[in-house]
Amino acid sequence: MTALQADWNPAQVRLWLERRIKAARSDQDVADRYGRDREDEYDKAAAEEWVCDQFRRSDAVEDQARLADAIKALVAKDDFYRPGVRSEQRFEREVKTYLRKLAKMVKTNTGFGKTLRYQ
């Protein structure tokens, strides 16, 4: 037997995005304190924040199919910019990775209930 997929809940998705942005900012602060040793973690957290911020106030969150299309459109872009990242290439790679993760979550409508700091 398969479980029925839950209905799309835009409020839950927005809450999840907000919490992920806060967690990513905190991760960036921690990585910043450790300097060069944690540049990878800084760029990864910056990518997570950037992706979540792109959809936080977007109307696409209201509909599962529209959000999936918006993510696909963003994946199709070639370059992503955010000031302050340590490595542009690493940042772009992490953005694409996080977009794929988010696309999978949207497609299956799973994971948005996990609003704790660590996932």
pLDDT of 2 > 60? The answer is no
Give the residue-averaged pLDDT of 62-69: 95
Whole-structure pTM value? 0.87
CA atoms within 13 A on the CB side of 57: 2
Residue 99: CB atoms within 10 A of its CB come to 20
Give the residue-averaged pLDDT of 97-115: 92
Whether 117 contacts 23, CB under 8 Å:
yes
Q: How confident is the model at residue 4 (pLDDT cuts 50, 70, 90)?
A: very low
Q: What is the pLDDT of residue 117?
A: 67
Buried/exposed code over 65-96 (b: 16+ C-beta within 10 A; e: otherwise): eebeebbeebeeeeebeeeebbeeebbbebbb
| Digit-coded pLDDT (tens) for 27-42 | 999 998 888 888 889 9
